[in-house]
Structure 1
Amino acid sequence: MSLRTDRLGGAEVVPFPRRRAPGAAASDRESRLPVLIVLHQESSTPGRVGNALRALGHRLDIRRPRFGDPLPETLQAHAGAVFFGGPMSANDSEDYIRREIDWIEIPLREQRPFLGICLGAQMLAMQLGARVAPHPDALTQIGYYPIRPTAAGQALCPDWPAQVYHWHREGFELPPGAELLAEGDDFPVQAFRAGSAFGVQFHPDVTYAMMHCWTTRSYDGLSAPGARQRHHHFADRAVYDVAERAWLDHFIGGWLAHRPALAQAAE
């Protein structure tokens, strides 16, 4: 099932609000709803994204459809949904991959906040009719690589980091009707928006512990064309992580508040 782009709502760029100060009172019921978290491996965690959501007062409704967890028929009982990454591909034929891509039609139709990270962004792009594929020269991005926010990305959320953490072999086209928020070199589409849904090719969710785990258990990936060697992951983290973490904190708060007026009026 592929979403028609006329359901995406207006493309007007509305800047994300600044994150509410810790301890500030929640003014609407949205802040009390849980956030749906979709993970793809038994040992996966929502990492720093989960930490940012908990800091805003949200509970996490963690589900793993790959291992039999159902997905809700509506997002009316959730503040939003986040689909995380994994070693699989959005092009894989497994039933759970197809079901997850089809399910993304629900937050798009209901205009609820949706965030796809790496694989999750590729699933969102595919639901919107874009192609997901490896780099034509078989290049990967494993480590830190530069990104460049577009004018729309800067207007939406300033202070983008100069480089961000990646771990992927495939990229995607900009979906029809979507707005490019950040671009890169080998993989041009790094972040995009379609209504109240956002996709990022990179991994702002990765904690220091997760980086140790990934670079140890998936060490063979570090020999792929374009991949950074393990020691560069940690050296670059010391340089770029503060900016990426600050950007994520701002982005997450604004993402949850960034719903079209139509969706808010319907509640």
Structure 2
Amino acid sequence: MTRRPPTRRPVLIVLHQETSTPGRVGRLLLERGYPLDIRRPRFGDPLPETLAGHAGAMIFGGPMSANDPDDFLRQETDWVGTVLREEKPFLGLCLGAQMLARHLGARVYAHPEGRAEIGYYPLVPTPEGEAMARDLGTPWPSHVYHWHREGFDAPPGATTLAVGDDFPVQAIRVGARAYGFQFHPEVTHAMVCRWTVRAHERLSLPGAQARHEHLERRLMHDPCVAAWLDAFLDHWLGEPRVPRRTKPRRSPSLRA
């Protein structure tokens, strides 16, 4: 009799729009056997009082600001403390990273000249970030995808892992298991196409890149982002690093 592998605990996914998805991150978690517990507190979904039944938690981005007074934003920011106290894996992406920083007392701020990072921008690891890359066995990508007009300072006690230009703090670690990334490693090609059409007015902000640059630079930089994210998620989940099998390429068709 064949035994089924044990069921993994779900990863809690916090999203902020009705049509939002966890993108590539969600797919990679599912491939590893982790169910997704998707919640949208903005639309009334509750957050759990404990993460004892979850493998970890992620808070994704959104068009709102971590400084906004909405009840759901305050609730999510306060709830970050639950994950930190229980020392569960936590990952904040863009808005989620700003909530992590704000929960720990750091500033979330707009660029003094009104500049935005919308498109692909350089990412430079710190010495601590380089050490993490050696642990992962995969280097940080040289450029990552952004969509934001606010950044955050590293909170007290956090380790800065990577820096950028207009918004210097790009990646932080808090303790051993909580991370905040200002960028969006989860985006798929479809998400880039959708964002640059539905929110095209943001592409005219100072510092933002034109739509064709998003698409062209994705071809250049996304393979490195994908490889790094794959390794990072194993590290984040505490799984042994196993090389992923790539799908074999199909032979070119002989038909005209």
Give yes or no for TM over 0.5: yes
Q: CA deviation at 1:153?
A: 1.1
Provide the C-alpha distance between the structure 2 equivalents of 1:129 and 1:257, rounded to a whole number of angstroms: 28
84, 89, 94: which one aligns with 1:118? 94
What does 1:253-264 align with in structure 2 at a 5 Å threshold?
253-257=234-238
**Bigger mean CA deviation after superposition, 230-239 or 151-160:** 151-160
Separation of aligned partners in 2, 1:139 and 1:90: 18
**Which residue type is aligned with residue 98 of structure 2?**
Q
1:171: how far off? Answer: 0.1
1:55, distance to aligned residue in structure 2 (A): 1.2
* CA displacement, residues 27-69 of structure 1 (integer Å, 9 cap, x when unaligned): xx7x711000000000000000101111111000000000000
CA–CA separation in structure 2 for the residues paired with 1:137 and 1:223: 14
| Structure 2 residue aligned with 1:221 | 202
Q: Which runs of 4+ in 1 moved over 3 A?
A: none
**1:160 corresponds to which residue?**
140
Separation of aligned partners in 2, 1:194 and 1:165: 22
Between the aligned partners of 1:175 and 1:52, the Cα distance in structure 2 is: 29
Compare CA radii of gyration and give the structure with the larger one: 2
Listed one character per residue, the Cα deviations across residues 202-237 of structure 1 (whole Å, up to 9, x for unaligned) are: 000100000010000000000000000000000000
Q: Kindly report which structure 2 residues correspond to 1:192-207, keeping only aligned pairs within 5 A, or say none.
A: 192-195=172-175, 196-207=177-188
Tell me, yes or no, if structure 1 residue 179 matches structure 2 residue 179: no
Point out which structure has higher relative CO (alpha carbons under 8 A, 6+ apart).
Answer: 1
Over the aligned positions, Cα root-mean-square deviation in angstroms equals: 1.3
| Aligned residues with identical type, % of pairs | 61
With normalisation by structure 2, the TM-score equals: 0.88
Aligned partners of 1:56 and 1:253 also within 8 Å:
no
- Secondary structure, counterpart of 2:180 in structure 1: strand
- Paired position in structure 2 for 1:265: none
Asked if residue 89 in structure 1 is aligned to residue 98 in structure 2, the reply is no
Q: Where does residue 214 of structure 2 map in the other structure?
A: 233
Contact map agreement 1:145 1:164 (CA 8 A) in 2: yes
Tell me the amino acid that sits aligned with residue 241 of structure 1.
D
**Alignment gaps of 5+ in structure 2:** 240-256
Q: Distance in 1 between matches of 2:77 and 2:36?
A: 21
| CA-CA distance at 1:152 after TM superposition | 1.0
Structure 1: which 5+ runs fail to align? 1-24, 259-267
Alignment partner of 1:44 is 2:20: yes
TM-score by length of 1: 0.85
Q: Distance in 2 between matches of 1:46 and 1:236?
A: 21
The Cα shift of 1:256 comes to 1.3
Helix, strand or coil at the partner of 2:46: coil
Q: Who is 2:245 aligned against?
A: none
Matched residues in 2 for 1:154 and 1:54: separation?
28
